[in-house]
A and B are shown apart, each in its own frame.
Chain A
Amino acid sequence: MIRTLLLACTVIIITIPQVDGQQADFESFDLEVDTFLNGSDGGGGFREEDLFFPNTYEDTFGSWSGWSISTDTDVTTAGFTNQYASIAGGGADGSQHYATSFVSGSTRITAVFRFAPEVLSVSNNTYAFLSMRDGDSFAKKFGGETGEDPDFFLLTIKGYRDGQLQSDSVDHYLADFRFADNSQDYIQDDWMNVDLTAIGFVDSLEFTLTSSDNGAFGMNTPAYFCIDNFSFGNLISTEEIASEVIRVFPNPSSDYVYIDLKITSVSQVIMTNSCGQVCEEIDIYNSGEKLDIRHLNNGVYFITVFTNDNKVYTHRIIKQ
């Protein structure tokens, strides 16, 4: 009975077109301390609240980019082997879980809804922090040989709506040595809240990192940062947008659903549960075929479509 009521509530929430105040704090992943998820399950990313955190994992070599979910607390080990940890030693506000991004070009957060980003907690990753503080065999100690170099490590956050880059963006310096007075130079060593309200309504966020330490082989500063407690609101359903790409019926369903892809430039279709774990990888050539969902537990699931031009569309379904 309680289960039915919960499901009914979920359906009601979904059908409400506008919702205020959500926060992605990654605590639902329930990882043990000093562990991480880096996409090795082939899920293509992680779902948290109504947001999707894409990840690219290369199975042959075990390399990844995009997002990982971490509970790593190591703030002392330098180098690549400590790539998942936050320099704050855990999540924001003493929490356990947070997300770490390895930025290869750029990293995105996408959403089922059009949303208005509000506040994001940001910290340096331990690998990047120690590299900027002490230098390593590739990257420089910020300030350079003499401590006078005007170095910086900049996180830029931009919004996209309907695939269009929005004009407003937010810059946050994870390290800044450009001050005339060197005593003001800093490398951020704890979580800081970044106000994102200037970005406005978007359906995805793009994160890029730039540094003053660059070479022909790219940025020398390790391209990592961490986020937590991402609050956003004013959700407006974008399922209408998604419905132009994908149609899933019947919904809700207890045994089978039909997936109808309306575009051809699709690279991957996956089904994830509410924790972001991949339940099914769907053959994109079987558009229109029925998908057996009888083995799934009752609840909310997401069908996510990745297109060749790097767009992501998500449609939720309910198994009952």
Chain B
Amino acid sequence: MSIITIDGQLDDIALNDQHIDLTDTLISYHTDLTDILRRESQLYIKSYGAGSSSTLSIRGGTANQTVIRWQDIPVNNPMLGLSDISLLSAGLFDQLSVSRGGGSSAYGNGAITGVLDLKNHVSRRNSLSVHTTIGSMGQKQANATLSYNNKKLSGSTKILYMKNKNNFRYRLSNGDLRNNSHAASSSKALLQTLSYAIEADKVLRYDFWIQDTYREIPPTTTQTRSEATQSDALYRHVLNYKQQMHRWQLNSSVAYFRESNAYSDPQILIDNNNVIDRIYHKTEAIISLSDTELLTLSYDLNHVTGQTEAYSNSQSISYHSLYTKLQKKWRTHTVYVGLRNEISSLGQHFASPSIDYNYSVSQSLVLSAKISREYRFPTLNELHWQPGGNLDLLPEQGWNQEVSATYHKKNSKLSLASYHRVINDWILWGLPDNTNFWAAYNLSKVRSYGIELNYNHRISIANWQIEIDGGYNHTVSKNLKSSANPRINKGDQLFYTPIHIATLNLNNSYRNWQWNIYNRYTSSTAGVISELPGYLLVSTELSYRMMLWEQSVSLSFVIENITDRSYRVIERRPMPGRNYFIHFNIRL
């Protein structure tokens, strides 16, 4: 289950960071992160349907204003600037952390609205766990984790296979039912983690992630049929060296990623092949200046190359960035001052300062305030796509301010955060007068502000435990400039950005039984074609855990969208009605 803590980790300075344990048996049956984030957070997921692409929006930003990282390395597609979270299978990772708020200073290019971190941990014991899931949409999933450990070498091997027909029924506007067609998907993945302790304070680690995903692209609700398919393949390698000394720590990583994406639609004779290469290096030194002062210095190199027929040839960009952060603590006050300087090989550069102040009013109450300057360099597509790429684009940039308070006492936690952000030179694809193709321009300026409220309370009565977990996000994200093409009026809320999202989860456990019910309300959103009505989704889950032949075994039955609510996240893209899963897990 999700644990919301005040984390002492150096990078996790935001009070409302959220950490989700993906090894929890009630989490790991989800095929991808989309369902988990919907259930465990109030983040907005822009989904094209079950098994189709989905992207993340934090605090009213766009998907390419959030950085997604694996083992501290950004995995956002450098051509699009975003990451398709439907390709991130939950069974492959150990922990998911969500950091909301301005993160450009700490995390660099693109972390305007936040960071989503995926981590794999080094195992400390020998174990094998196997998960299998079958579901009503033709879902079959199996994933296994083998962990091993000895004095010098430890590691884990995760494998995953998933197949899904996604042939759910959905309701049309006149009440008729229709089957989703041509929507099958399959994925197979291997994630290997190896850690070798050279000495007690020197560790060499290697992570390798390989994944192949194939999916059919279903027709829209206003399309007769579709024959489009998409294949995504990735190979990601990360080598990390960590050395701990008396007053400082050295942490150095080098990574190589190769990703390919092939989109084919024989109906319209489209056959696109994209290949991305990324070479990444980061060296970080964390120096303890005194018992109350910590200095972080780091250097990042991110070299990306994109190849596609829409570029005149392959295009590359290198980003170099220097980051320094000073953390000073006295009594109940902690201040973090950070500064990042990032320069791209195109000559663009940006300085991103941040200052974060935490005040522990009491053991229960912590107040925080933060000001930071945010930025995002244009993506490869925004620069080089033909037609429409624009080498004269400026980086999106602006200031972010936020305050938060967290009250934590015994079995309760209440947190409240408020933020305000203005981003200038917002990049949009537009069609100015006297042109006949869409092109990328710094067309808009966007102000975003809102509040985030979270409450968690646990009650224990003998063998019965109840957990109430609720949250509410109020998100206003408005264009401050109007545009003819696309048609945007000054003051309009951004497309696909709901103002209200609320969740209320009730978790009951009694002896070996657990029964959870999840409610999530999403208010109406402005789509690019029409307004999409708001909707309430209710899901439930009944689990039984037991020891069988001294092994931990659990069986779960899940009903998603109990009320069979018909809804759309994107116009003309059907979402599943009521559907079922049975999940079995065993840990040896």
Residues of A near any B CB (own CB < 8 A): 56, 58, 60-65, 77-82, 102, 104-105, 133-137, 140-141, 144-146, 148, 213-218, 220
Contact A135 B224 (CB under 8 A): yes
Interface string of B231-247 (1 = CB under 8 A from A): 00000000000000000
Interface check B463, CB cutoff 8 A:
no
Q: Are B224 and A141 in touch, CB under 8 angstroms?
A: yes
State which of B174, B225, B270 has its C-beta within 8 Å of the C-beta of A134: B225
Q: Does B485 contact A (CB under 8 A)?
A: yes
CB-based contact B268/A80 at 8 Å: yes
B436 surroundings in chain A (CB, below 8 A)? 56, 58, 63-65, 102, 104
A134:B223 contact, CB within 8 angstroms: yes
Q: Is B290 an interface residue (CB 8 A)?
A: no
Which residues of the partner chain A approach B529 to less than 8 Å between Cβ atoms? 213-216, 220
Q: What separation, in Å, do the CA atoms of A65 and B438 have in the docked complex?
A: 13
Is B533 interfacial (CB 8 A cutoff)?
no
Bound together, the chains give a CA A148 to CA B175 distance in angstroms of 13
The reply to whether B224 and A79 contact each other, CB–CB distance below 8 Å, is no
Closest to A137 in B: B220
Residue of B267, B436, B485, B530 ringed by the most chain A CB atoms within 10 A: B436
For A82, the chain B residues whose CB sits under 8 A away are 268-269
Closest to A217 in B: B486
Name the B residues within 8 Å of A104 (CB-CB).
Answer: 435-436
B268 touches A217 (CB 8 A): no
Residue among A78, A105, A144, A217 facing the most chain B CB atoms (10 A cut-off): A217
Also in contact, A78 and B222, with CB within 8 A (given A60-B387, A215-B529): no
Q: A79-B270, A214-B529, A216-B488 are in contact. Are A135 and B172 (CB under 8 A)?
A: no
By beta carbon, the residue of chain B nearest A65 is B436
- Whether a CB of chain A sits under 8 angstroms from the CB of B221 is yes
Please determine whether A216 and B487 come into contact, CB atoms closer than 8 angstroms: yes
Contact A135 B223 (CB under 8 A): yes
A215: which B residues are within 8 A, CB to CB? 527-530
24 contacts between A and B (CB under 8 A): A58-B387, A58-B435, A58-B437, A61-B387, A65-B436, A79-B268, A102-B436, A104-B436, A134-B224, A135-B220, A137-B220, A137-B228, A140-B220, A140-B223, A140-B572, A141-B222, A145-B222, A146-B173, A146-B174, A214-B529, A215-B527, A216-B529, A218-B431, A218-B485
From B176, B269, B530, contact of A81 by CB (8 A): B269
Cross-chain contact A136 with B268 (CB below 8 angstroms)? yes
A134 to B268, CA, bound (A): 12
Q: Assess whether B386 is interfacial by the CB under 8 Å rule.
A: yes
Residue B495 is within 8 A (CB to CB) of chain A in the complex: yes
Which residues from B are CB-within-8-Å of A102? Answer: 436
Asked whether, in the complex, the Cβ of A146 is within 8 Å of the Cβ of B176, the reply is yes
Within 516-549 of B, Cβ neighbours of A (below 8 Å) are at 527-530
Q: Which of B57-106 contact A (CB under 8 A)?
A: none
- Shortest C-beta distance, B494 to chain A (Å), equals 11
A267 to B313 Cα, complex, angstroms:
33
A137-B223, A144-B222 known; A216 vs B437 contact (CB < 8 Å): no
Residues of chain B contacted by A137 (CB below 8 angstroms): 217, 220, 223, 226, 228
The complex places the Cα of A88 from the Cα of B268 at a distance, in Å, of 19
Beyond contacts A146-B176, A216-B528, A218-B487: 8 other A-B pairs, Cβ-Cβ < 8 A, are A63-B387, A80-B268, A82-B269, A136-B223, A140-B223, A141-B223, A144-B173, A215-B529
Q: Is B265 an interface residue (CB 8 A)?
A: yes
Q: Which residues of B contact A136 (CB under 8 A)?
A: 223, 268
Measured in the bound complex, the distance between the Cα atoms of B222 and A133 in whole Å is: 10
Q: Which chain A residue lies CB-closest to B223?
A: A135
State how many angstroms separate the Cβ of A147 from the closest Cβ of chain B. Answer: 9
Q: Hey, which chain A residues are within 8 Å of B386, CB to CB?
A: 60-61
B219 within 8 A of A: yes
Q: Which residue of A lies closest to B530 (CB)?
A: A215
> How far apart are A102's CB and chain B's nearest CB, in angstroms?
7
Cα(A79)–Cα(B267), bound, Å: 8
Q: How far is the CB of A49 from chain B (nearest CB, A)?
A: 26
* Chain B: CB-nearest residue to A63: B437
Question: Do B219 and A135 touch (CB < 8 A)?
Answer: yes
What residues on B are CB-neighbors of A133 within 8 Å? 224
Tell whether, in the assembled complex, residue A81 and residue B268 are in contact, meaning their CB atoms are under 8 Å apart. Answer: yes
> In the bound complex, what is the Cα–Cα distance between A144 and B221 (angstroms)?
8
Among A137, A213, A218, A220, chain B packs the most CB atoms within 10 A around the CB of A137
Residue of A whose beta carbon sits closest to that of B222: A140
Per the bound structure, the CA–CA distance linking A80 and B265 in Å amounts to 12
List residues of chain A with CB within 8 A of the CB of B174.
145-146, 148
Is A81 in contact with B270, judged by CB distance below 8 angstroms? yes
Minimum CB–CB distance for B313 against chain A, Å: 14
CA of A145 to CA of B223 in the docked complex: distance in angstroms?
8
What is the CA–CA distance of A136 and B387 in the complex, to the nearest angstrom? 21
A195→B530 CA distance, assembly (Å): 36
Residues in B whose Cβ lies below 8 Å from that of A217: 431, 438, 485-487, 528
User: Does B437 contact A79, Cβ atoms closer than 8 Å?
Assistant: no
* Chain B, 233-289, CB within 8 A of any chain A CB: 265, 267-270
Complex: A64 Cα to B431 Cα, angstroms: 14
When chains A and B are docked, how far (Å) is the Cα of A216 from the Cα of B488? 7
Pairwise interchain contact B528-A145, C-beta atoms closer than 8 A: no
Residue of A nearest to B170 (CB): A145
A146 touching B172, Cβ below 8 Å: yes
What residues of chain B lie closer than 8 Å to A79, measured between beta carbons?
A: 265, 267-270
Complex alpha-carbon distance, A75 and B437, angstroms: 25
| A218 vs B429: C-alpha distance when bound (angstroms) | 12
Residues of chain B within 8 A of A134, CB atoms compared:
223-225
Cβ–Cβ < 8 Å partners of B268 in chain A: 77-82, 136
Q: Which residue of chain A has the shortest Cβ distance to B173 in the bound complex? A: A145
Q: Chain B contacts of A145 at CB under 8 A?
A: 172-174, 221-222
A141: chain B residues at CB < 8 Å are 222-224
Q: Nearest Cβ in chain A — how far from B22, in angstroms?
A: 32
Interface centre among A60, A79, A136, by most chain B C-beta atoms within 10 angstroms, is A136
B219 to chain A, nearest CB (A): 7
Residues from chain A with a CB closer than 8 A to the CB of B226 are: 137
> With a CB–CB cut-off of 8 A, which chain A residues contact B225?
134
Instruction: Please determine whether B486 and A216 come into contact, CB atoms closer than 8 angstroms.
Output: yes
| Chain A residues positioned under 8 Å from B217 (CB to CB) | 137
Report A111 CB to chain B, min CB distance, Å: 23
A77 CB contacts on chain B under 8 angstroms: 268-269
Chain B 366-391, CB-CB to A under 8 Å as 1, else 0, gives 00000000000000000000111000
Cα A215 to Cα B496 in complex, Å, equals: 13
Cα–Cα distance between A132 and B435 once the two chains are bound (Å): 25
CA A137 to CA B267, docked complex, whole Å: 11
Task: Write the nearest CB–CB distance from A39 to chain B, whole angstroms.
Answer: 11
| A220 vs B223: C-alpha distance when bound (angstroms) | 13
Q: Judging by beta carbons under 8 Å apart, are B495 and A216 in contact?
A: yes
Report the bound CA distance from A135 to B265 in whole Å. Answer: 14
Q: Mark B456-492, 1 if CB is under 8 A from A, else 0.
A: 0000000000000000000000000000011110000
Which chain B residues border A60 with CB–CB below 8 Å?
Answer: 386-387
| Chain B residue at minimum C-beta to C-beta distance from A66 | B436
Bound form: Cα–Cα A135–B176 in Å: 19
How distant is A56 from chain B, measured CB to nearest CB, in Å? Answer: 6
Contacts of A148 in B (CB 8 A): 174
Closest to B268 in A: A79
Q: How far is the CA of A146 from the CA of B171 in the complex (A)?
A: 11
Rounded to whole Å, the gap between the CB of A319 and the closest CB of chain B is 33
Q: What separation, in Å, do the CA atoms of A290 and B176 have in the docked complex? A: 73
Q: Please give me the residue from chain A that is nearest to B529 by CB atom.
A: A215
